[in-house]
């Protein structure tokens, strides 16, 4: 009896196991690709982009701020008279990478982080920035210190939280609230108004979230608020 292994039998076993080896290699490669995508997505999601708002032609003021790279910028739709409305931008969530969506769908068995692929606008998960000029700005009541007065809004909302502070020496009003009524309790609104002193101008930021399909837009609005600066364009 030969002391050497049966080479024919060994080769047959290798050939038999080859599909299994190929499958294991493919699975390992897929897992590495998913892990790499997740690391890249996490890294990119924490980076921020500088945004320079449009300049008010009368006062020459504009705002600059940062927004997460998870959002893409588009021009806000035109609203009303250009002499009283300063158009700005709308920021909508980018969809996560396909690999991340696959993990959420097939492994975690839940919906991927919320995003909206509809046209930009006043929809949950988006942030809008614009400005009001002339009489439209004047119609927004202010208190003795120059802060936009939201007392009328508080009468028609629930769980309303309001703060007043200065941004670039300009009075700023921050407000979050929920609307009462059927369905309204699911929506959380976020507003930031900035009014340069003694100017017929108000800069505005708006966002809202839906608790039935939540996003992190509220947290993003706080970061935007912390980054905002009011600047006057030099000649």
Phi, psi for 93 (deg, rounded to 5): -65, 135
What separation in angstroms does the CA of 9 have from each of 1, 76, 190, 216?
16, 71, 71, 60
Whether the model pTM is above 0.75: no
Dist. CA 52–CA 122, nearest whole Å? 21
CA 139 to chain centre: 29
Q: Could you read off the pLDDT of 96-115 as tens digits, one per residue?
A: 666 666 665 666 555 555 54
Task: Give 87's DSSP letter.
Answer: E
pLDDT in tens, the chain (235 residues): 555 555 555 555 555 566 666 667 666 666 666 656 655 555 555 689 999 999 999 999 999 999 999 898 999 877 666 667 888 999 988 766 666 666 656 665 555 555 444 444 457 889 999 999 877 776 788 889 999 988 888 778 888 899 999 999 999 999 999 887 656 567 889 999 999 988 899 999 999 888 777 788 999 999 999 999 999 988 7
Q: With CA atoms as reference, report the closest residue to 68 among 91, 49, 95.
A: 49
Where are the strands (E) in the chain, listed by range?
48-52, 61-68, 71-75, 85-93, 127-133, 158-167, 170-178, 187-194, 201-210, 229-232
């Amino acid at each position: 009896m030969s002391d050497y292994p049966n080479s024919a039998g060994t080769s047959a076993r290798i050939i038999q196991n080859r599909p299994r080896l190929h499958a294991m290699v493919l699975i390992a490669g897929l897992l590495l690709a998913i892990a790499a995508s997740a690391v890249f997505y996490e890294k990119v999601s924490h980076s921020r982009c500088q945004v320079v708002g449009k300049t008010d032609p009368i006062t020459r003021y504009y705002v600059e701020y940062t927004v997460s790279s998870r959002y893409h910028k588009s021009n806000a739709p035109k609203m009303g008279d250009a002499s009283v409305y300063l158009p700005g931008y709308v920021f909508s969530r980018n969809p996560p990478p396909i690999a991340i969506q696959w993990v959420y769908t097939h492994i975690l068995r839940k919906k991927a982080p919320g995003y909206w692929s509809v046209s930009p606008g006043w929809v949950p998960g988006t942030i809008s920035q614009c400005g009001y000029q002339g009489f439209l700005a004047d119609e927004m009541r202010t208190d003795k210190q120059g802060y936009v007065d939201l007392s009328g809004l508080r009468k028609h909302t629930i769980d309303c939280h309001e703060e007043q502070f200065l941004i670039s020496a300009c009075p700023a009003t921050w407000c979050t609230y929920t609307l009462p009524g059927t369905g309204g309790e699911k929506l959380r609104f976020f507003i930031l108004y900035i009014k340069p002193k003694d100017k017929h101008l108000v800069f505005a930021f708006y966002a809202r979230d839906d608790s039935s399909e939540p996003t992190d837009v509220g947290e993003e609005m706080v970061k935007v608020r912390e980054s905002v600066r009011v600047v006057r364009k030099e000649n």
